[in-house]
Amino acid sequence: MALSTRIETAIGQAVAVGRAGGPARLSAALDYAVQPGGARIRPTILLSVAQACGDDRPAVSDAAAAALELIHCASLVHDDLPCFDDAEMRRGKPALHKAFSQPLAVLAGDSLIVLAFEVIAAAAADAPDRAVALTRHLARRTGMPGGICAGQGWESEAEIDLRAYHRAKTGGLFMAATQMGAIAAGQDPEPWEELGDRIGEAFQVADDLRDAICTAEDLGKPVGQDDLHGRPSAVAELGLDGAVRRLDDILAGAIASIPSCPGEAELAGMVRAYAGRILPEAVREMVPGE
């Protein structure tokens, strides 16, 4: 089965559990938060790593992939709130708090976070050790002190360590992706941290480039947000050219970091293919000097 089919099926099943018999508007908000999806990059990486490691319990891998995407969707819903980015649009449609309400946006995010942990526990009845390890890694990369909540929290500090900030805010869920993929397949997650860290770093640099270059129509969400909110950015630090060179270095390092495993070559190919999706040629061509 194609990874995208596995991911959409697992997300659909998870949200169906969360909806059944609940209040109608909040139920609809859960669907709205996860559909239509973006690139589903994080769960795709998770399942790719699981496959590279043998994927001996696909139901556990699918649950882990769905859980990770639910956390990502929850973070988008909360980040879009007026007190953060105050975003009007997300994935080409009104942000959830605009389409529903602020209370339902807060609750939808909260519910998706909870559902993520529930999905892992529910899928792992015959592999409780993996469920516990998946829960610990997902929590570590989501909450405090080093997950995406911490990353967002750094924006409330007077002084920010740019590397720590990006590692938590964007890197968190990519490290969760590679490490949870290994755990779901019964492997040691530690050697997989670097790959996730580097992919996350690449993604952040690419996001900074897109924010600096693209139009809102290209992205389906507001641009120039980093500049507007005075947020740290690789483009501000290195310039456009420098940021593109940094991105290429990071991706090369990511491929070099892949641990030895049965599916190592396929996984390297996947990362190369993603490089094109992380920073499309069309964007790369907009950079002066490229």
Residues in contact with a copy of itself by CB under 8 A are 18-27, 30, 74, 78, 81, 83-84, 100-104, 106-107, 109-111, 113-115, 117-118, 120-122, 124-125, 128-129, 131-133, 135-136, 139-140, 142-147, 149-150, 152-157
Minimum CB–partner distance for residue 179 and a copy of itself (Å): 14
Minimum CB–partner distance for residue 87 and a copy of itself (Å): 14
Closer residue to a copy of itself (CB): 15 or 234: 15
| 30-69: burial string, b at 16+ Cβ within 10 Å, e else | bebbbeebeebbbbbbbbbbbbbbebebbebbbbbbbbbb
Please give the Cα distance from 158 to 106 (Å, whole number).
26
Closer residue to a copy of itself (CB): 142 or 170: 142
Closer residue to a copy of itself (CB): 91 or 140: 140
- CA distance to 49, 77, 199, 212, per residue, from 248 (Å): 21, 30, 11, 18
Closer residue to a copy of itself (CB): 107 or 206: 107
Minimum CB–partner distance for residue 229 and a copy of itself (Å): 11
Minimum CB–partner distance for residue 208 and a copy of itself (Å): 20
Please give the Cα distance from 271 to 118 (Å, whole number).
30
Closer residue to a copy of itself (CB): 17 or 216: 17
Other Cβ atoms closer than 10 A to 234: 24
Please give the Cα distance from 268 to 44 (Å, whole number).
14
Eight-state DSSP code of residue 129? H
Minimum CB–partner distance for residue 116 and a copy of itself (Å): 9
